[in-house]
Amino acid sequence: GGKHVYTHLDNDRLSEGLHDALGRYHASGVVVDEDACLAREVLRGYASLRAETDVIRCKLYSLLLPAYLLLGESDEFDRLRSTMRSMLPVIKAGQSRALLLVTLYGCTDSSLYQRMAHELVDPWMEEASPKKSKTVLIRRLRDYDRWLKHNE
């Protein structure tokens, strides 16, 4: 069963959809119906999943945090944000850590998370051919900088 949850979590449609929705939200301050609909779909599919490993937990939380933000579920959002924050010291795997940081930054506009995310992600840009999971995070971080107006 574990693998099923894992492949299930590599859901580009949902994670890319949430990312684009965050972009629209940051641009307008408004959540359009289809984005709210996507966020509800994410919560229906994932909010009750129990993740066995840190890697899977990072993937899961990076779907849930933006969904809570888009739906204005501030209690759930705050609870998950502090859970993610408390995981940071123990997550050593680079990509899982970067996923947490990039997600936290994109959802909170915190300069601390921005700096920590860049420290991890920027060196990947020097790699000749970074893996897809890395290029996705490079692109997301760049998007958040643009959307949150940190690329001056």
Residue 122: both structure tokens together:
């920027």
What's the rounded Cα separation, in Å, for the pair 113 and 106?
Answer: 9
- CA angle 84–89–95, rounded 5-degree value: 70
Alpha-carbon span 64 to 84, nearest angstrom: 11
If pLDDT is split at 50, 70 and 90, which confidence band does 43 have?
very high
pLDDT above 90 (res 50): no
pLDDT digits (tens, 9 = 90+) for 81-101: 999 999 999 999 999 999 999
pTM for this prediction: 0.92
Tell me how far apart the alpha carbons of residues 94 and 54 are, in angstroms, rounded to a whole number.
12
Residue ranges per domain, the chain? 2-147
How many Å apart are CA 78 and CA 151, to the nearest integer? 27
Architecture of domain 2-147: Alpha Horseshoe (1.25)
Within 13 Å of residue 8, how many CA atoms lie on the same side as its CB? 14
What is the C-alpha to C-alpha distance for residues 105 and 117, in angstroms, rounded to an integer? 8
Question: Taking residues 124-133, what's their average pLDDT?
Answer: 93
Residues in the chain: 152
What region, left, alpha or beta, does residue 149 occupy, with left being phi > 0 and alpha being psi -120 to 50 degrees? left
